[in-house]
Amino acid sequence: MGDFNADHPEWAGPQWERQPKAEHLLERMTVLGYHLLNEPGFTTWSRGETDKVIDLGFASTQLAERILMYNPRGEWAETQDHYPIEIRINIETPRLRQNDRFAIKKADWEEIIKEVQQSNWLDPEPDIAVANLQRAVQDALEKHCQRQGQAIDLDQSGPKSGGASSGLQTSETEIPEDSGR
């Protein structure tokens, strides 16, 4: 989260032109697996007659799924400038038993290696290369390796707060006896 001073229609709305530094920021954040939290056109900075969206929030996939609210609050600003951002995050930890690992012993390693090599993951930027390689390996495993099972929700009662359902669904999966367990 921060003051990026960059205009882009993705966050500022369709009336704004794409600045090169904003395009680079969006591309880099996407490659690294971050998601924009701002809704297009919601002002985060104001001075005189000028309103802009330059204060941006990004989050990983896991965190972005837990964001309940990301809302610039102009009425909270003591001076006209950067608006405070109200963020609400679901911090409840889902109780899951994980048994969705890959069955590595059954993997088609020749195909996995071939697919990763053909993915063009290498990049001069080390952090982008790592993200690309991780994505290539994950994609190859998804295609050429079975999973042992799926996650099972152990807390079927929903959140303790008494609010809305946590969105977790219960699924019961039979695990073959030869799965290595």
pLDDT digits (tens, 9 = 90+) for 28-72: 999 999 999 999 999 999 998 999 999 999 999 889 999 999 999
For the 2-89 domain, the top CATH level (class) is alpha beta
Q: Which residue has the higher pLDDT, 143 or 173?
A: 143
Say how far apart CA 87 and CA 69 lie, in whole Å: 5
pTM score, two decimals?
Answer: 0.54
CA distance 41 to 109: 47
Give the domain ranges of the chain: 2-89, 108-144
DSSP state of 73: -
pLDDT in tens, 62-103: 899 999 999 999 899 887 789 999 999 998 876 665 667 888
Q: How far apart (Å, rounded) are the C-alpha atoms in residues 13 and 3?
A: 17
pLDDT at residue 88, rounded to an integer: 94
